[in-house]
Every structure is written in C-alpha cells, then in structure tokens.
C-alpha cells in the first residue's frame, strides 16, 4: 500500500492517517506458524517542523511454536510504531525513504514488525524445553535420564558422595 504524503511534506503540523492490513505470508518465520487474523496497523504520518514521523500501533494475533519445547501456542503482539521518514537526503540510517511523494507503507510496517520480533518464542517464560537425550518434555516432569558429569569435575562428584 502506497501512502501519498504530498499534502503534508511542505506543511508543518499536518498529518495523514492510515489503516493497513498486512499479508500474513510476508511475516511468517520458523517460529510463527500462522496468523489467526491479518495483522493490522493504524496510525498517522505527521510533519513536525519539517520532519516526517510515522506513529501508530500494529496488532498481530498469531499461532507460534515454542523454540524450547516445540508446542504451539497463541500470542497477540501489540507494538507501538515510531519511525522517521526521509526524502533520501537524510543521514539517518534508520529513516525510511520516500519514493517521490509516496511511502511504501506495507514494506515499512513489515520491516518495523520484523525488527521488533522476539529472538526466541517461548510458550512461557519458565519453559524447560526438551531433554537433549530422550526428547521428553521437561515441563511435564523429569525424564529419568542420568545426568552426565563433566569428566573434569568427576573428583568433585566423589566428594559429594561422601
């Protein structure tokens, strides 16, 4: 979706509202299985003393896979959007660049969403994951595998046995 900013580029204090649904296929990764509805962003681009700024919110209702135990879980991500828009003459490497008088809103929002993603998706903060030997889900209880002691620390284990 291209957002025409011609009306506000030269007029400080003016803004253009937007509402944009993102295509879920563009935002999938190995930890996001599906979106339960299209991610939606709402906000405005405004001219503050000659500086174009995008602000708003983005909401995504998704089904994710836990990176530790592999279980699917539902998650709603609500993120605040803040970005600077440049005409290409700015030195700010984080600013999004206009194409003429238009901003590619889909690309901008997708980039902001991906940059704000968690590095690990967890079903709960205290997820214990899977046993590296037998693959049992440690959230359900211990698996019964014998813990191997580092051979360099075997002498210390003998002290504990006494």
Helices vs. strands in the chain: H and E counts, helices first: 2, 8
Taking 50 as the pLDDT cut, the residues of the chain under it are: none
Q: Which residues have C-beta within 8 Å of that of residue 71, sequence separation ≥ 6?
A: 65, 123, 137
CA 89 to CA 119: how far, in whole Å?
32
Coil/strand/helix, residue 97: strand
DSSP string, 10-71: T-TT-EEEEEEEPPGGGG-BTTEEEESS--EEEEEEEEETTEEEEEEEEEEEEEEE-TTT--
Q: What is the pLDDT of residues 16-59, one digit of tens each?
A: 899 999 888 878 788 888 889 999 999 998 888 878 889 999 99
Under 8 Å between Cβ of 62 and 77: yes
The model's pTM is: 0.74
pLDDT at 61: 94
CA 109 to CA 144: how far, in whole Å?
47
pLDDT at 90: 66
CA 99 to CA 3: how far, in whole Å?
10
Rg (CA), the chain: 24
CA 81 to CA 61: how far, in whole Å?
17
Which of 68, 45, 82 is closest to 122 using CA atoms? 68
């Amino acid at each position: 979706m291209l957002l025409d900013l011609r009306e506000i580029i030269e007029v400080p204090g003016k803004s253009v509202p937007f509402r944009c649904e993102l295509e879920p296929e563009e935002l999938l990764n190995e930890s996001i299985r599906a979106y339960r509805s299209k991610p939606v962003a709402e906000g405005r681009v405004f001219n503050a003393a000659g500086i174009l700024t995008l602000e708003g919110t983005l909401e995504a209702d998704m089904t994710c896979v836990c990176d530790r135990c592999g279980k699917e879980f539902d998650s709603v991500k609500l993120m605040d959007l803040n970005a600077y828009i440049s005409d290409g003459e700015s030195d700010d490497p984080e600013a999004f660049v206009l194409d003429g008088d238009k901003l590619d809103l889909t690309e901008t929002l997708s980039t902001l969403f991906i940059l704000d993603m968690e590095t690990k998706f967890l079903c709960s903060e205290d997820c214990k994951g899977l046993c590296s030997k037998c693959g049992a889900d440690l959230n359900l209880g211990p698996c019964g595998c014998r813990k191997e002691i580092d051979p360099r620390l075997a002498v210390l284990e003998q002290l504990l046995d006494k």
